[in-house]
Chains A and B, each alone.
Chain A
Amino acid sequence: MYELTPEGREYLENGLPEKRLIRKIHGILGNKKKVRDLVSMPGFSIAFSWARKNGWVEVEGEYVKLTEAGKRALGEKTEIEKALESVAASGEAPKEALRVLVSRGLVKRKAEVPDEIAQLTPEMLLTGAWKKAKFKKYDVKAPAPAVYPGKRHPYSRFIDMIKRKFVAMGFEEAKSPIVELELWNFDVLFQAQNHPAREVHDTFFVEGSGTIPDRSLSERVKNVHETGWITGSSGWGCRWDYRRAASLVLRSQTTAASARYLYENRERPELKMFCIDRVFRPDVVDRTHLIEFHQAEGIVMADGLNFRHLLGVLKDFSERVVNCEKVRFVPSYYPFTEPSVDLYVRHPELGWIEVGGAGLFRPEVLAPLKVKKPVIAWGLGLTRLAMIYLGVNDVRDLFSRDIDWLRRKEVCLL
């Protein structure tokens, strides 16, 4: 289907310019007129070139002269004129004439209004064309191409959710540096300088050495290690080496963050702190071991806290964070806590699983930090929990480098 352009409509009403030109010339003496008298006529060059092309006029010196054909043309409709009328009436015209009309910009193809709309367009909405058409039926079961949203990494999202649980329980977050003094990573935590955890197969040592700005702290730690100081302990009975304490390690336990936080906040009447961060330990990396992994750690300091309070916190945590109500407490050992306990929870599918360790900080830890109130502390093995919640069987997949897995992995809720 075709329709007239505004120019085409004008010509339909007032005649084609070449027709207007020959009418102007006709009837004048000799049927000729000077070119310079004609050029002022609107659209002269279009009119002249078509009139000449049709053989209606010829140039005689400075005159444009009507030919016999031109005279005849005055009395009849040309093919072009007929086609113009035909397009105006029916939207169609003979092919050859149409081609000329389109090339002269007098008609154009009419916007298609299909019987069935595949894609709704802004134009259809604007013209109202959609009203006349039907929408093409879609096969809703036909496959659609996959698209992948930007998402959090499942494990980092899991960590954020655990943080949210701690916050909901009134704990404030703390952090400690990755490169740490042995003092904070071990000595303050009453781990003897010859403790096996301080050997090369359990701790990453870093080149260089640091300083301990608080010499009175290191003095108190030295005393408690060597003789038990004022705590009533016998201490480890070995010489304590300042240089060892000032040596550098990669943080091997988040308890270092607890110790720093306790010391900074020792004057507060009570506190609840948590820390979730990476720790570093040499190992052979396999499906159950990483050399860099996350630990979650919580402490509560307040007057009158006791072992039953610790069990209360662990039980509450199992219910809220691990969603397991059945717990079992098993005696354990950590150098910095006494009594110490390991927490097992009953998982609906996996049975009893160990999820963390806990205890009351030893007097040998608290006294050098000048903490005067009891402190309960616990740590969770976050990787184990994350593996269960994310359905991962190989711990290395928590740090998966597979973009397809990340793209397809569902967003997990705790």
Chain B
Amino acid sequence: MPVVEADIRDLKSLGVTEEEVETVGEMVKAVLEEKEGDLWKFEVTSDRPDMLSSEGIARAIKGFLGREVGLPAIRAAEGPELKVGSPKRSCVVAFSVRNVDLRGPVFRNLIQFQEKLAQILGRNRREAAVGIHDLDRISGPVVYREAKPEERFVPLEMYEKMSLEEIVKKHPKGIYGRDSGFGFQVFEDAEGIISFPPVINSERTKVSEDTKNLFVEITGTNPKTVEDVAKIMISNLCERGWAVERWVIGGEARPDLSPRQINVETAFVNSVLGLELKPTEISAILERMRFGVLDASERISVLVPPFRVDVLHPVDIVEDVAIGYGYNNMVPVYPKVHGIGSTLKETDFSEAVAEVMIGLGFQEILSFVLTSPKNQNEKMGVRTGGVKILNPCTRRFTTCRTWILPSVLEFLSANCHREYPQKVFEIGDCVVPGSTETGFRTKRKLAFAIAHDRANFTEGKSVVEALLRSLGLSWEIEEKKHPSFIESRCASVTVGNREVGFFGELKPEVLLNWKLEKPVVCGELDLERVMP
């Protein structure tokens, strides 16, 4: 979940006390995680991007406490025109904010806000990104247009002109953009380029604590996301009483800041929550959650403020009723639902097999399903075809195991300087090719291994036969050729004409591949095939 830092001095100036932040925060989806001096860190749920700044957190707390209720005043006048060419990154909204005071923690809060919005709601600037400029450094009409890679300007934190192409290649923020294929587009005023969204702004229009008037541009690839980011920013900046002007694009001042209307049945609210609230009670709660209520009847007309982009369905309003009512004020009821508890046959069978193996003196081990072809194939001298993970995060884990014996050997390998004899087993899932909707099947298998100075085929055979006998099976043992085992010291286990497993003495080459210094007799059983 996103983490937001808010300065407690800033929160206080927005009308909430320290104690209120500590106690109410988690009830309105801003859980206080830790404090570093004045900087308080909150974990905010990802459905509420409007809480990614101090203003949003303070607004929710004040509402919950009933200090400010109903729809917040969110107003924005009509500003100048933004001319738009035909950039590939075609979605754009712009607005200006006048008479701001960014001194102290406010500046930091604003910068974090736009970064988090672009990252979380804007999907790492792909769908939407924000650029904030000093409006007073902008002169003449502003245009948003496609650009050529060789066009030049002085980017933020740089002292000389760079071409867009150079920025993409050399600037730290550009390098990130190159992978995302953002394309070339710019905002330009009478003096030149002021921004290369979503990569970098110009040094000329850089914002500081002393900036008095802001120009904010939001660009992206998803029109709804671009508008949502604008709505949330404008709504939160309005909390500070600043004057916002929405720039006119294509003859229209956007985004539309009027609240949406959603009707919610009182009966629906009560059926979801298990409460018996009256329409007036629901309406009072919703006003504390900063909704507007037009009509408090059996069918409640709710006005959703523009920053609540998470509301998709009446059930989202119901959650706010629950939050306003207080989760911990509700009396939990254990549902009287009949059910006969049971485990899967596979679980029961695995447990039975484990019981026998433990009786034979084996220690159970637990390994990862994730593994590498090196362990699965190379060290064993075999080739198996398994899953290929497209985005592995380490070379150790690039596939899923198709057989479980290598997991057991990996364990022995990690314990070759521990006391012998070592007798271990593992029961676990493997992923093998299969004719399913994905082309793969999950398969439960057993592997065991015995390692000591005199471990041999006969000892392994005793174990296999003891297990099969305990499971009530009739079996045949036949000689088998297997690349991991010494020839003539490997056997297949057949039950009802189907091979269900194999075991034998590992080849010295395989032992050395695992850096094992003792002989090992080991085997594997397909539990699915022997399960009754």
Known: A170-B338, A312-B333, A407-B363. A194 touches B358 (CB 8 A): no
How far is it, in angstroms, between the C-alpha of A154 and the C-alpha of B492 when the chains are bound? 32
B residues less than 8 Å from A338 (CB atoms): 313, 315-316, 318-319
A160/B351 in contact, CB under 8 A: yes
In the complex, are the beta carbons of A312 and B46 less than 8 A apart?
no
The chain A residue with its CB closest to the CB of B326 is A329
Query: Which residue in A213, A278, A304, A362 is a CB contact (below 8 Å) of B437?
Result: A213
Answer yes or no: A126 CB below 8 A from chain B CBs. Answer: no
Q: How far is the CB of B395 from chain A (nearest CB, A)?
A: 13
Q: Let me know if B272 is at the binding interface, CB within 8 A.
A: yes
Interface mask (A209-229 → B, CB under 8 Å = 1, otherwise 0): 011110000000000000010
Say yes or no for A309: interface residue by CB 8 A criterion.
yes
Contact of A308 among B331, B341, B419 (CB under 8 A): B331
A233 touches B313 (CB 8 A): yes
Contact of B411 among A250, A302, A401 (CB under 8 A): A401
Interface size, A (range): 35 or more
Pair A212/B437 contact, Cβ less than 8 Å: yes
Residue among B342, B347, B354, B369 making CB contact with A278, cutoff 8 Å? B369
Query: Which residue from chain B places its CB closest to the CB of A155 in the assembled complex?
Result: B366
Asked if B390 CB lies within 8 Å of chain A CBs, one says yes
0/1 string, A181-211, CB within 8 A of B gives 1: 1000000000000101001100011111011
A90-117 contacts to B, CB under 8 A, are none
Within 8 A of A (CB), among B369-396: 369-370, 387-394
Q: Give A173 to B346 CA distance when docked, in angstroms.
A: 10
Query: Does A59 lie at the interface of the complex (its beta carbon under 8 Å from any beta carbon of B)?
Result: no
Pairwise interchain contact B46-A196, C-beta atoms closer than 8 A: yes
Q: Kindly report which residue of chain A lies nearest to residue B321, judged by CB atoms.
A: A339
A128 at the interface (CB under 8 A from B): no
* B388 A207 Cβ-Cβ under 8 A: yes
Known contacts A306-B274, A333-B47, A401-B365; 17 additional CB pairs below 8 A are A172-B342, A177-B440, A206-B389, A210-B439, A238-B224, A270-B339, A272-B339, A291-B397, A305-B337, A308-B333, A309-B335, A329-B328, A333-B1, A333-B29, A399-B366, A403-B363, A403-B418
Does A402 interact with chain B (Cβ within 8 Å)? yes
Instruction: Using CB atoms and an 8 Å cutoff, list the residues of chain B in contact with chain A.
Output: 1, 26-29, 31, 45-48, 120, 123, 127, 222, 224, 271-275, 312-316, 318-319, 322-323, 327-328, 330-335, 337-344, 346-347, 351, 354, 357-370, 387-394, 397, 400, 410-411, 414-415, 418-419, 422-424, 429, 431, 436-442
Q: Is the interface of B mostly helix, strand, loop or mixed?
A: loop
Q: Which of A58-73 contact B (CB under 8 A)?
A: none
Q: Please count the residue pairs between chain A and chain B whose beta carbons lie under 8 angstroms apart in the complex.
A: 269
Q: Closest A-chain residue to B316, C-beta based? A: A338
A150 touching B315 by the CB < 8 A rule?
no
Among A15-23, A27-35, A161-169, the one that faces the other chain is A161-169
Give every chain B residue within 8 A of A345 (Cβ-Cβ). Answer: none
In the complex the two chains form, is B327's CB within 8 Å of A330's CB? Answer: yes
B363 pairs with A172, CB closer than 8 A:
no
Q: Does A307 contact B (CB under 8 A)?
A: yes
Q: Please measure, in the bound complex, the distance between the C-alpha atom of A215 and the C-alpha atom of B335, giving whole angstroms.
A: 35
0 or 1 for each of A230-246: is its CB under 8 Å from B? (1 = yes): 01111111100000000
Is there contact, CB below 8 Å, between B389 and A403?
no
CB-based contact A306/B273 at 8 Å: yes
B332 and A314 contact, CB distance less than 8 A: yes
- Assuming the A-B contacts A306-B271, A329-B327, are A151 and B363 also in contact, with contact meaning beta carbons closer than 8 angstroms in the complex? yes
Closest-CB distance, A239 to chain B (whole angstroms): 11
Does B29 lie within 8 Å of A170, measured CB to CB?
no
Instruction: For the complex formed, measure the closest distance between the CB of A189 and the CB atoms of chain B, giving whole angstroms.
Output: 14
> Out of B275, B369, B391, which one reaches A282, CB within 8 Å?
B391
- Residues of B within 8 Å of A172, CB to CB, are 339-343
| A292 contacts the other chain (CB 8 A) | yes
Nearest Cβ on chain B to A254's Cβ, whole angstroms: 13
Q: Tell whether, in the assembled complex, residue B314 and residue A232 are in contact, meaning their CB atoms are under 8 Å apart.
A: yes
How close is B121's CB to chain A, nearest CB, in angstroms? Answer: 10
Selected from A305, A328, A406, the residue in CB contact (under 8 A) with B328 is: A328
